[in-house]
Amino acid sequence: MLNFFNYTLKDLQDLLIENGFKKFNAQQVFDWVYKKFETNFNKMSNLSKSLITWLNENMHISCLSEEIKLVSKDGTTKFLFKLEDGNKIETVLMNFDYGNSICVTTQVGCNMGCKFCASGQLKKIRNLEAAEIVMQVYHLNKYLHEKGEDLIRNIVVMGIGEPLDNYENLSKFLNIVRDDHGIGIGSRKITVSTCGLVNRFDDWIRDFPQVGLAISLHAPNNEIRSKIMPINNAYNINDIISNVNKYIKATNRRITFEYILIDGINDSDACAHELAELVKGILCYINLIPWNPVDNTTFKRSHNVRRFYEVLRKHGITATVRQEKGSDINSSCGQLRAKNEKK
Ligand code: SF4
């Protein structure tokens, strides 16, 4: 069976035409699914009987099954979904003053092994298909629609998994969610975060020059970075900086460096000065993230967030401290799934 959520409007038009239907039929189905949130072909009242029969025989609109939903005091909502094969993934809905934002997952588990991350403790089982990533956005849009709230306006690809390690499905997902006839979220409202798989940067620059890119840097030098991020042994900070320069030259877009502050590891004033020197002159901003505790690590939360930020500012580096969302519901990436898998 074909999965509806793997299709852009254009792809569905081609498929329906190939099977003897009309181009406009694809738009009809899209309107039912994306505007009216109807997923039962039999209820799509303006479709011909023959089209409904064909759709029922050849295509399914699968839905995620919601296992757990935790709502934080600040409105952040964390979902644990069960996929058709029984694997579980997390998705987070956050409300900012610029609108609702979703953090999606791209893999079941992750092989990058970052020491501060709950997802890295559960190895990658498989990549998500494009449809499974799209379904996270669709499910949350449906949830918001039923509550009479505004739909999702921003997507961050920062959940479980390394997106550039699942490049083909990520690409397909980005093409589907940017399609104006469906979910319709513009390139500039989407940010993809990578731990630094710079081997994919040429593809990224060619395919998605307008989609935001964030790099998980988390250290000002290779010595610290290698201790907390094994990927640094394959692509180190020098590789990252040279590829970032290439990216900025090609796209003229500002890049985001994410920096999780961990007590005694990467949060000293000296680290802040070193980081400022490293990124000086690069069109970037630094997103400082207070580390959220996860089980099975000896790391502690930094008490130097404000000072670290001030040091960067004194160097003229643009930085922000990420607004903490859902701290009362363990909203750090992977924690809900990690706890659930251990039961
Ligand atoms: S931080 Fe991201 S890349 Fe690193 S282990 Fe966690 S999910 Fe994977």
Return the DSSP state at 210: T
Distance CA 106, CA 167 (A): 10
Cβ 175 vs Cβ 125: under 8 Å: no
Q: Tally the C-alpha atoms within 13 A of residue 342's C-alpha that lie toward its C-beta.
A: 12
Mean per-residue pLDDT, 291-295: 79
The confidence score (pLDDT) of residue 341 equals 58
Q: Which residue has the higher pLDDT, 118 or 257?
A: 257
Of 82, 96, 69, the C-alpha closest to 135 is 82
What's the CA-to-centroid distance between 216 and ligand 1, angstroms? Answer: 9
237: left (phi over 0), alpha (psi -120 to 50) or beta: alpha
Does ligand 1 lie within 6 Å of residue 117's CB atom?
yes
The finding on whether 338 has its CB within 6 A of some atom of ligand 1 is no
pLDDT at residue 101 in the model = 96
Q: Among the options 90, 129, 162, 258, which is catalytic?
A: 90
Residue 60 phi, psi (nearest 5)? -130, 150
Atom of ligand 1 lying closest to residue 117 CA: 6
* 120: confidence class by pLDDT, cuts 50, 70, 90: low
pLDDT confidence tier of residue 298, bands split at 50, 70 and 90: confident
Answer whether 78's CB lies under 8 Å from 69's CB.
yes
pLDDT score, position 333: 57
- Cβ of 120 closer than 6 Å to ligand 1, yes or no, is yes
Report how far residue 291's alpha carbon sits from residue 305's, in angstroms, rounded to the nearest whole number: 10
How many Å apart are CA 172 and CA 174, to the nearest integer? 5
Does residue 110 line the site of ligand 1, with CB under 6 A? yes
Task: Characterize the bridge pairing of strands 212-216 and 255-261.
Answer: parallel
| Annotated catalytic residue 90 | yes
List the one residue out of 62, 60, 50 whose CA is nearest residue 19: 50
For residue 58, the CA-to-ligand 1 centroid distance in Å is 37
Verdict on whether the full-model pTM lies above 0.85: yes
Reply yes or no on whether 284 is catalytic: no
**Contact between residue 119 and residue 160 where contact means Cβ atoms under 8 Å apart:** yes
Share of the chain above pLDDT 70, in %: 95
Q: What is the DSSP letter of 262?
A: B
